[in-house]
Amino acid sequence: MDLQRALTAFQTAYQPDPREGLTVSPEVVGQTLKVQVRHQDQEVLRGFDVVAEPLETEGRSADELGRNVAEVVARELAYGQLSAVGEDGQFKRVVV
């Protein structure tokens, strides 16, 4: 799967959230499309990661994958308060 195409589809589908201090950073690393979402909330950094590692046998297109990732990011942001770093030192991870 062409993850650069999936990244472009994500960037087209994602409607930026207007809240101040929010950063959404999509990138392709190897065979993974990863979107880091961070928000500086007063003194605490909050956020989550959305990760897509498509299989060769997967039935969805790169465009569909990018749109799915955009939908997950928007849905997680719609929940309101984002999670802080967990006890393991990592942010919440959502696999698409």
Task: Give mean pLDDT, residues 54-70.
Answer: 90
Token reading at 14: 């994602």
- Residue 77 CA to residue 6 CA, distance in Å, equals 20
Amino acid at 66: G
Q: Which residues of 49-88 are buried (b: 16+ CB within 10 A; e: fewer)?
A: bbbbebeeeeeeebbebbbbbbebbeebbeeeebeeeeee
**pLDDT greater than 80 at residue 11:** yes
Note down the domain range covering 44. 3-95
* pTM, 2 dp: 0.89
pLDDT tens-digit map of 18-54 = 888 899 999 999 999 999 999 987 788 899 999 999 8
- Is the pLDDT at 64 greater than 70? The verdict is yes
